Amino acid sequence: MKKKWLVHLLAVLLFGLLVACGGGEESGGDNTGSESSNENGTEETAGNGDGEQKRHAFVFKNTGNPYGEKIMEGFETAIDETGGEAILRSPDQPTVEGQIQIIEELIAQQVDSISVSANDYDGLQPVLTKAMNQGIKVLSADSAVNGDSRTVHINQADPEAIGRTLVQAVAEMMENEGQFAILSATSQASNQNLWIEWMETELESEEYADIELVEVAYGDDLRDKSVSETEALLQSYPDLKAIVAPTTVGIAAASKVITDKELQGEVLVTGLGLPSEMAEYISNGVSPWMYLWNPLDVGYLTGNAANALVEEEITGEVGETFEAGELEGEFEVTESDDGVEILLGDPFKFDPDNIDKWKDIY
Ligand code: RAM
């Protein structure tokens, strides 16, 4: 017991130091390089036992996505602070099959919690139900699974606000006239699909009568595919005025293509982007502005929620509250469309005035 307390104290001190080194942002610092620990997850001890070190897994959509790495970094920081062990896994490709295989392995390892950024809203239900039946706490974060497949979803920001804001932004950039396309992640990604639904709802308003959404293309959160999909959009729609990419991989790929083709100012790009990947394109005018939340905080909140569930501080009932380490204030379990969720906060807008402040953080 004493030892656990000491480990916790050391972890808190270390975290404080990291935040201080990160320039005092609320982001959880930049402890790069730690995200790949335990990647193979071959395990020694069985979880689910009192007094044992708790093991918390995070499964992202796929490898090679810097946004996913930041989420897992924040998750690991939170789990370290609790004295637990973080297991970080992602399939090579953003498929539901890849995630099922990893989750089966985590169940066999008897981890204490599994958090997943899902490649499919319904497709993980059988394997996540199996996990929950074995006493494993299940959370989705970033990209949700349906309400029956999870105890709670960690929502980065209000999906309606995200969808509507993206349309308002692109309309302003296009001066309310012309064609634009959406470059999304995979066609099954539940977070992107929800945001796109809200974009389509916003577009129904009369004020966008002269704006046409010509196509929703899917780059699958893979850099090369996102590049080739952008090139195909430019070819198919010579009058295209803008691309909205509600994915950090897509927005960076689209911006690179526009920059390489010297189409700055002719085709504008906005959406959800990582400042570290987009600073160049915000500065060169390809993307006048864009939005995102802090992925380190998404992961950090998820880690704290997973721990609170495993330690039975919360059970996932609407109205319960808990504190999430260094994040300010209390977080509350609230009702969502088909289950319960915990909301992180509002997205940030990044533009030429503030991008340099954030580009080294995430
Ligand atoms: C990509 C992923 C992730 C999404 C961000 C905005 O990195 O698709 O799930 O939340 O973009």
Q: Which pLDDT score is estimated for 337?
A: 87
Q: How far is the CA of 347 from the centre of ligand 1 (A)?
A: 13
- Find out whether the beta carbon of 249 lies less than 6 Å from any atom of ligand 1: yes
Q: Which pLDDT score is estimated for 50?
A: 58
Q: Which pLDDT score is estimated for 52?
A: 85
Pocket test for ligand 1, best of 193, 272, 302 (most atoms within 8 A of CB): 272
Pocket test for ligand 1, best of 73, 93, 156, 192 (most atoms within 8 A of CB): 192
pLDDT tens column, 229-282? 999 999 999 999 999 999 999 999 999 999 999 999 999 999 999 999 999 999
pLDDT tens column, 207-221? 999 999 999 999 999
Q: How far is the CA of 8 from the centre of ligand 1 (A)?
A: 31
Report the C-alpha dihedral over residues 316, 318, 320, 326, rounded to 10 degrees: 80
Helices 66-82 and 248-260, interaxial angle, to 10°? Answer: 150
- Nearest residue (CA) to ligand 1, atom 8: 247
DSSP-derived letter for residue 347 is P
Index of the ligand 1 atom closest to the CA of residue 67: 7
Mean of the per-residue pLDDT values for the chain? 89
Per-residue confidence band for 21, with pLDDT thresholds at 50, 70 and 90:
very low
| Angstrom distance (rounded) from CA 305 to CA 53 | 17
pLDDT tens column, 135-146? 999 999 999 999
pLDDT value at 23 more than 50: no
Q: How far is the CA of 193 from the centre of ligand 1 (A)?
A: 11
Window from 43-57, 108-122, 152-166 with minimum mean pLDDT: 43-57
Pocket test for ligand 1, best of 248, 249, 293 (most atoms within 8 A of CB): 248
Q: Which pLDDT score is estimated for 51?
A: 66
Q: Across residues 64-77, what is the average pLDDT?
A: 98
pLDDT tens column, 314-331? 999 999 999 999 999 999
Per-residue confidence band for 6, with pLDDT thresholds at 50, 70 and 90:
very low
Q: Which pLDDT score is estimated for 312?
A: 97
Task: Tell me which amino acid residue 262 is.
Answer: E
Q: Which pLDDT score is estimated for 3?
A: 40
**Nearest C-alpha neighbor of 290 from the set 239, 345, 250:** 250
- What is the DSSP track for 86-103? EEEE--SSS-HHHHHHHH
pLDDT value at 19 more than 80: no
Site of tokens 């090579």: 92
| Angstrom distance (rounded) from CA 66 to CA 70 | 6
Q: How far is the CA of 2 from the centre of ligand 1 (A)?
A: 40
pLDDT tens column, 81-114? 999 999 999 999 999 999 999 999 999 999 999 9
Q: How far is the CA of 189 from the centre of ligand 1 (A)?
A: 9
Pocket test for ligand 1, best of 99, 143, 221, 255 (most atoms within 8 A of CB): 221
Domains, the chain, in order of start with CATH, read 55-156+295-345 (3.40.50.2300), 159-292 (3.40.50.2300)
Q: Which pLDDT score is estimated for 17?
A: 36
* Residue 19 CB partners (closer than 8 Å, separation 6+): 25, 26, 27, 28, 29, 326
| Angstrom distance (rounded) from CA 132 to CA 29 | 32
Per-residue confidence band for 12, with pLDDT thresholds at 50, 70 and 90:
very low
Q: Are strands 240-245 and 268-271 parallel, antiparallel or unpaired?
A: parallel
Q: Which pLDDT score is estimated for 44?
A: 38
- Find out whether the beta carbon of 294 lies less than 6 Å from any atom of ligand 1: no
pLDDT value at 180 more than 60: yes
Q: How far is the CA of 176 from the centre of ligand 1 (A)?
A: 27
**Nearest C-alpha neighbor of 74 from the set 327, 336, 301:** 301
- Find out whether the beta carbon of 298 lies less than 6 Å from any atom of ligand 1: no
- Sheet containing strand 55-59, strands side by side: 85-89, 55-59, 113-116, 137-141, 152-155, 340-343, 330-335, 321-323
Q: Across residues 38-43, what is the average pLDDT?
A: 39
Tell if the pTM clears 0.75, that is, is over it. yes
Q: Are strands 113-116 and 55-59 parallel, antiparallel or unpaired?
A: parallel
Element (H, E) at 115: strand 113-116
pLDDT value at 18 more than 80: no
- Find out whether the beta carbon of 247 lies less than 6 Å from any atom of ligand 1: yes
